[in-house]
Structure 1
Amino acid sequence: MKVLILAASSLLYSDYVLANIEKITVYGHRTGLIGDAISASSGIIGQGEISNRPMLRSAEMLELIPGMAVTQHSGSGKANQYFIRGFNLDHGTDFASNIDGMPINMRSHGHGQGYTDLNFIIPETIATISYQKGSYDAQQGDFSAAGSAYFNLIDMPKHQQIGLTVGEDNYTRVVALGSTQAATGTLIGAAEWQGYDGPWDDIDEDVSKKNALLRYAGPLANGNLSLSAMAYDNDWNSADQIPQRAVVQGLISELGSLDKTVGGSSSRYSLSANWQGQNLQANAYLIDYELNLFSNFSYFLNNPINGDQFHQADSRTITGLAVSYQFTQQAALPINHTFGIDIRNDDIDNVGLYNTQARQYLSTVREDSVNETSYSAYWQTQIDFSQRLEANIGARYDYLKASVNSNNALNSGDADDNLITLKTSLNYLFSDNFAAYVNYGQGFHSNDARGATISQDPISLDPADKVDLLVKSNGAELGLRYFDERHFNLSAALWWLELDSELLFVGDAGNTEASDASKRYGIELSAYYWLNDQFSLDTEASFTHSRLDINSNNNYVEGAVPLVASAGMNWYITEQWQTSMRIRHIGKRTLSDDGNNRSNPLTVVNGLISYQQTHWKVDLALLNLFNSNDHDIDYFYASRLAGEPSDGVEDNHFHPIEPRTVRLNLSVLF
């Protein structure tokens, strides 16, 4: 919905007035994006929607993307689990995320390829989240097979605020956001501290999360410049996934732990600069990142004396530069071109896996330094055949080279790979409110560079097969979008996706490994209905069929999710009072390749009640309102408890959703 505001009193539409029109774009579910989007499954989420969503964790901002679910299998400080389009994305392998022009996904990460930790984001500092499911835009690169999300930081806060949130299990969150005029622009500052012990029987999570943002936004050289500095530091204890049999046998409760010494620490510091002119856009960034993570998924399977706890370490510096140029060609038809280049370097001085006991070093499994550099170039053309018919054609070239220096010389080496991906879409407007979309796109994810140079398994010492450095996907989509500004917004998409190599979770190693090719197809529906200005309903559902592309009955994709659905209600009772209620459902997940082991479904309801005056606001969040004891995540693999056979017991391992909890927030606005 676009609104034009005329900042004039009794003047008519003179040249002066037209030159001083302020254009405000309001984003949200009431924004149909008719004529602006290249697919039915893309959208823009505004700060208003983020602030009104009851959330247990900040990463649940992504659940505003229709058909996406966010859970957790370990402590509050590590990256979440993400589900979309039939993928258990682990920690983000096939969904690309970006903030302020900086990539969030980590290549060759110590805990999993594409690791996407969103804990460093302060939700109040996000202006919009733009998302695209599928890979139909030439700007979408690594990790974008299932889609991508772009977090855009605020340039002009609606208000300044200081907020305090308190809740059960010693949950405390303090946030401050302010801005001031600086030269010809705006200087924005924000800070967040969060502490939390969690509901667990045997441990206190003892979370200590600290975030800060300092940002300048203003005009420069006939364009707009933003400079951002971000800082994040966190440490925590974990309540990891546990075997079902330990609960059945009464060894622990569903909120118990078998290893009470797991947890970790992480930090992320970054500087970024963005400049955008009429045709040219450029950004550069520098990121310093560290993670130390202690986990134990198999207990005494590999080491019956000291246990199977392991330490995953990651320390790196990421630098990058991106430039794009857009121009319109004067031809028989309006044609708009966009060219861009993107360079990224991950200088990983240590990515290691170590055996530990109670966080004390025992031995080194593998220790590497890795240097990865990618070079990308893309071109995209938009052709307007008429006011109703539009086509987009794009191509992208990616080259990735990596150098691995391992503690085992047999696993050191160099690898490189390149690929060309093609994108195309056709959009037709039946009316100002109704559009149809046809899309085809190729995407890709990179594999861990260590897998591309490996010769010897670091544990068994057996010969090991190398994996391709880049893995291509092919996808297509048919979509419809209907938009009634007053009452109704509907989108539907029928999609298909092939992936040349699936990544699967390996329980006893705590990471992922490359597997067979896979095929997925499904249908997605989202509908938003506004009864009036006070009351609205929404529902979203994604149905997916996923299989490995092999000639075998054992062709189920482990971790695949057949159904993700959610529904919500928002009621603006008065100008001061607002309430919202949301239900999220994740269907039975496939846990083994024969399809015989499946998780139970997950259903959780969250609620929010808000009261706001001009200069203050109170929010009461009711999370897991009906105290469901469903599981956030389930895996099926072998582990060994004390006294069990040496080859362990195959069992369901799960992490429960957190019990019902209440959180009260008071914010002062000025």
Structure 2
Amino acid sequence: MKFFILQLTLWLVAQGALAQGIVRGSVADEKNEPLIGASIYIPETGTGTITDRLGHYSITTAKAGSYSVRVSYIGFETQTIPVTIADGAITSLSVHLKAGGVQLADITVTGGLERPMNTLSHVDIRLRPVNTSQDILRMVPGLFIAQHAGGGKAEQIFLRGFDADHGTDINVEVDGMPVNMVSHAHGQGYADLHFVIPELVDYVDFDKGPYFADEGDFTTAGYVDFQTRNKLDHNFARLEGGSFGMGRAVAGVNVLKRARSNAYIASEFTRTNGYFENSQHFKRFNIQGKFNTQWGERTRLSLALSVFDSQWDASGQIPDRAVDSGLITRFGSLDPTEGGGTGRINMNLRTSHSLRNGGTWENQAYAVRYNFSLFSNFTFYLNNPVDGDQIHQQEHRWVYGYKTRYSQTSTLGGMRLQTEAGAGFRYDAIDNIALSNTVRRIFIRDFKRGDIREGNANAFWSETLWLTPKFSINAALRFDYFHFDYTDRLNAAQPGSKRRGIVSPKLNFNYQATETVNLFVRTGTGFHSNDARVVVEQSAKETLPRAYGMDVGADIKVTPALIVHTALWRLDLDEEFVYVGDEAVVEPSGKTTREGIDLSVRYQLAPWLFADADLNVTRPRAKGVPEGEDHIPLAPTITSIGGLSFRRQQGVNGSLRYRYMGNRAANETNTVVANGYFIADAIVNYTRPGYEFGLSVENIFNTAWKEAQFDTESRLKDETDPVSEIHFTPGTPLALKVRFTKYF
């Protein structure tokens, strides 16, 4: 066996040594904006690749000669360009694509560097109507969200068998800035995306598992990185109105349009009473500006500033028994003074410089001002029979960060070698982070109050070697170093700090078997960090719990109109974080393992009609406990989303979509079950060159469903003994929304 492996390796290296030419360049649209994830394919050699986040690509030929390079991108006209490659030479080829119709036939199944394929996001964002930042998160196949605090709180996230709470096991970024808040007042990794104006999202980069050297903390189940537009195609103004007092106004205007520079500003205001008996009084305000310029021929600069503020009331999570007894309706409340407010100011500077050796050097610096205040009541009168258990969680923080990244394509023994290296730091200065007991938002006493200083320095190195033009190996290493510091304001004698480091290796394989089949194997480790207060005060055993993952899968273009992505995977964690409802905290609960299968299908039924479906099946279990007591509370086991989309350049377009989540265990023994649901939504638009009318219908069958569920021990005011059962937030009933958009 060892001899066979050695012979195979020598043969692959020998084949790779024949590689004599490299084609590299960039792909952009007619306005010179980079097209991320465009496909580049050489039919004569059967090799392909995709453009990176700057629109750059590099592809190897087997030998010198004449070739045709086919460049395609969903929503653009495909181009085929003849090139002649000299022996040992690098040929430059930059392409500008013209906008066209959405055709799956334009897609070539190819592998990227560490990421085998992310075509799904390009298809979905062009076919699925996007109305809120929540809709954007749902672009990730298998990702579900649940809102359970009045619309202003970050959504609960479910992915790959994780109840990731608000972000413990998924890394979320916007334009390279972190969304996850470490050591947050409400939960570790808290990721609030409501500062994103959905109309400004240009591209969604996502993937699953801990296999990516440039993705750090919280990248266990996966990551999502949103890129906002560098320029607006048109000035626009949109008005929306709907059920339950919903109203929204959003507008975007180009304020600078020159050959080498552009800038725009956009703003959004949303308000709604919500479908609860206790009005949400929800209000959200966003404003964002972005400036882009080309310095010389080699340097691009982007500067962005945004401001976000949100206020709301909430009905909270209510117990089944309160509804069953008739004490309240399913849209009622036991503590109508829940709610909160949050705000965020982002400052973001990014540069990219094309070096003379063909490499690229990127730099980014950002600063975030963030505040958070949340009133909740999970247990009612369990702990305080007189005043009640309402709690207030709050914090104020600054986040400062810097990233640098270098990438270059070269050759090693005649084989193409892609090198990427980067480093950075993030520093969180968190003041007055507190958990307090309140009554009707009036302070009673502190449970915890203090200040946190948390730093994360990191570096990574990634090498991708093409042993043959079709077969590549990616080996990478990431190092993260954390410094945790916590000062307890209630006990000044107990300030403390801890330091921890972690190394995360990755090893990925990619083989493009044919133009229609791409195979991959991914392995690696990642981690999610623990809360600084737990690390310092409790000397947590697992400060940076490690995750071990493996994916084996394929991307297959079955027919020109049918694309299938599938993967078998496993992920093991050294420490699981589980939500504890009666304390409103996240606690460690030991080692876990998850195994599953992901299946995604995209099918074009007609030039204007598309079908899609995602099915995700997972078996999540705790390790080291008896069988039958090893369920992971609220971890999803089966989820599916899908629908039909119809799209014409002008006229009627829209979609009919469904979401399904199966029943799941709400406790370790599966004796309490969180019920699943099936929800259908519909959107119809009428589009003309200068305007658009739209109608959205949520929950078209008016299903009574539970959006968020927890097995929580609580006591109502007149009860003598506590009861542990499902507490839930009801999902939206049938709701209508109309909108009008003017382009100018």
TMscore range, shorter length: over 0.9
Equivalent of residue 420 in structure 1, options 496, 503, 515: 503
* Mapped partners of 1:274, 1:483: distance in 2: 36
Q: Is the 8 A contact 1:171 1:197 kept in 2?
A: yes
* Mapped partners of 1:250, 1:79: distance in 2: 30
The secondary structure found in structure 1 opposite 2:521 is strand
* Mapped partners of 2:120, 2:250: distance in 1: 25
The secondary structure found in structure 1 opposite 2:289 is strand
Match of 1:224 in 2: 300
* Mapped partners of 1:180, 1:21: distance in 2: 28
Match of 1:180 in 2: 255
* Mapped partners of 1:261, 1:27: distance in 2: 50
Equivalent of residue 659 in structure 2, options 549, 571, 584: 584
* Mapped partners of 2:593, 2:491: distance in 1: 36
Unaligned regions of 5+ residues in structure 2, if any? 1-38, 40-70, 85-91, 355-359
> Residue type of the partner of 1:666?
F
Shift of residue 248 of structure 1?
A: 0.4
**Alignment partner of 1:651 is 2:734:** no
Match of 2:626 in 1: 552
Q: Is the 8 A contact 1:47 1:127 kept in 2?
A: no
Match of 2:583 in 1: 509
* Mapped partners of 1:232, 1:173: distance in 2: 15
**Alignment partner of 1:233 is 2:309:** yes
Equivalent of residue 382 in structure 2, options 269, 278, 301: 301
The secondary structure found in structure 1 opposite 2:190 is coil
Equivalent of residue 62 in structure 1, options 134, 137, 149: 137
Match of 2:338 in 1: 262
Shift of residue 326 of structure 1?
A: 1.1
> Residue type of the partner of 1:594?
T
Match of 1:209 in 2: 284
Change beyond 3 A, Cα 1:144–1:508: same
Shift of residue 539 of structure 1?
A: 0.7
Equivalent of residue 336 in structure 1, options 418, 428, 441: 418
Match of 1:460 in 2: none
The secondary structure found in structure 1 opposite 2:121 is strand
Q: Is the 8 A contact 1:228 1:272 kept in 2?
A: yes
Change beyond 3 A, Cα 1:225–1:367: same
* Mapped partners of 2:194, 2:737: distance in 1: 19
Q: Is the 8 A contact 2:647 2:653 kept in 1?
A: yes
Q: Is the 8 A contact 1:232 1:268 kept in 2?
A: yes
The secondary structure found in structure 1 opposite 2:180 is coil
The secondary structure found in structure 2 opposite 1:470 is coil
Change beyond 3 A, Cα 1:128–1:20: closer
Shift of residue 536 of structure 1?
A: 1.2
The secondary structure found in structure 1 opposite 2:673 is coil
Q: Is the 8 A contact 2:146 2:157 kept in 1?
A: yes
Q: Is the 8 A contact 2:127 2:647 kept in 1?
A: no
Equivalent of residue 198 in structure 1, options 253, 274, 282: 274
Change beyond 3 A, Cα 1:414–1:570: same
* Mapped partners of 1:23, 1:284: distance in 2: 31
Change beyond 3 A, Cα 1:109–1:415: same
The secondary structure found in structure 1 opposite 2:152 is coil
The secondary structure found in structure 2 opposite 1:454 is helix
Match of 2:111 in 1: 35
**Alignment partner of 1:529 is 2:606:** no
* Mapped partners of 2:493, 2:273: distance in 1: 44
> Residue type of the partner of 1:394?
A
* Mapped partners of 2:315, 2:369: distance in 1: 27
Shift of residue 26 of structure 1?
A: 9.1
Equivalent of residue 322 in structure 1, options 399, 403, 406: 403
| Cα offsets for 1:54-110 (capped at 9, x unmatched) | 65x422311111111111122100100111100011101100011111100000000
Shift of residue 579 of structure 1?
A: 2.6
1:484-503 to 2 correspondences below 5 Å: 486-503=560-577
Which is bigger in relative contact order (C-alpha 8 A, separation at least 6)? 1
Match of 1:461 in 2: none
Change beyond 3 A, Cα 1:84–1:477: same
**Alignment partner of 1:379 is 2:453:** no
Equivalent of residue 738 in structure 2, options 661, 664, 667: 664
The secondary structure found in structure 2 opposite 1:277 is strand
**Alignment partner of 1:608 is 2:683:** yes
The secondary structure found in structure 1 opposite 2:710 is strand
Match of 2:434 in 1: 352
Equivalent of residue 629 in structure 1, options 697, 701, 704: 704
Match of 1:391 in 2: 473
Match of 1:285 in 2: 366
Give the greater-gyration-radius structure (CA): 2
The secondary structure found in structure 2 opposite 1:64 is coil
Shift of residue 328 of structure 1?
A: 2.6
The secondary structure found in structure 1 opposite 2:135 is helix
Shift of residue 223 of structure 1?
A: 1.6
Shift of residue 224 of structure 1?
A: 1.2
* Mapped partners of 1:180, 1:573: distance in 2: 30
> Residue type of the partner of 2:740?
L
Change beyond 3 A, Cα 1:33–1:345: farther
> Residue type of the partner of 1:383?
L
The secondary structure found in structure 1 opposite 2:279 is coil
Q: Is the 8 A contact 1:60 1:70 kept in 2?
A: no
Q: Is the 8 A contact 1:40 1:492 kept in 2?
A: no
* Mapped partners of 1:355, 1:395: distance in 2: 45
* Mapped partners of 1:611, 1:254: distance in 2: 36
> Residue type of the partner of 1:349?
D
The secondary structure found in structure 1 opposite 2:535 is helix
Shift of residue 574 of structure 1?
A: 8.0
| Cα offsets for 1:256-298 (capped at 9, x unmatched) | 1100001000000010001112210010000000000000000
* Mapped partners of 2:334, 2:386: distance in 1: 15
| Cα offsets for 1:353-391 (capped at 9, x unmatched) | 011000011101100100000010000001011111011
* Mapped partners of 2:405, 2:670: distance in 1: 46
Match of 1:252 in 2: 328
Match of 1:459 in 2: none
Shift of residue 45 of structure 1?
A: 2.6
**Alignment partner of 1:405 is 2:487:** yes
**Alignment partner of 1:594 is 2:669:** yes
Aligned residues: 652
Match of 2:530 in 1: 447
Q: Is the 8 A contact 2:425 2:455 kept in 1?
A: yes
* Mapped partners of 1:508, 1:367: distance in 2: 19
Shift of residue 408 of structure 1?
A: 2.3
Unaligned regions of 5+ residues in structure 1, if any? 456-464
* Mapped partners of 1:61, 1:410: distance in 2: 46
> Residue type of the partner of 1:622?
V
- C-alpha root-mean-square deviation of aligned residues, in Å? 2.3
Shift of residue 159 of structure 1?
A: 1.6
Q: Is the 8 A contact 2:127 2:645 kept in 1?
A: no
| Cα offsets for 1:561-605 (capped at 9, x unmatched) | 001101110123784111310000011121101122111112110
* Mapped partners of 1:632, 1:26: distance in 2: 39
Change beyond 3 A, Cα 1:616–1:493: same
* Mapped partners of 2:127, 2:610: distance in 1: 16
The secondary structure found in structure 1 opposite 2:412 is coil
Match of 1:49 in 2: 125
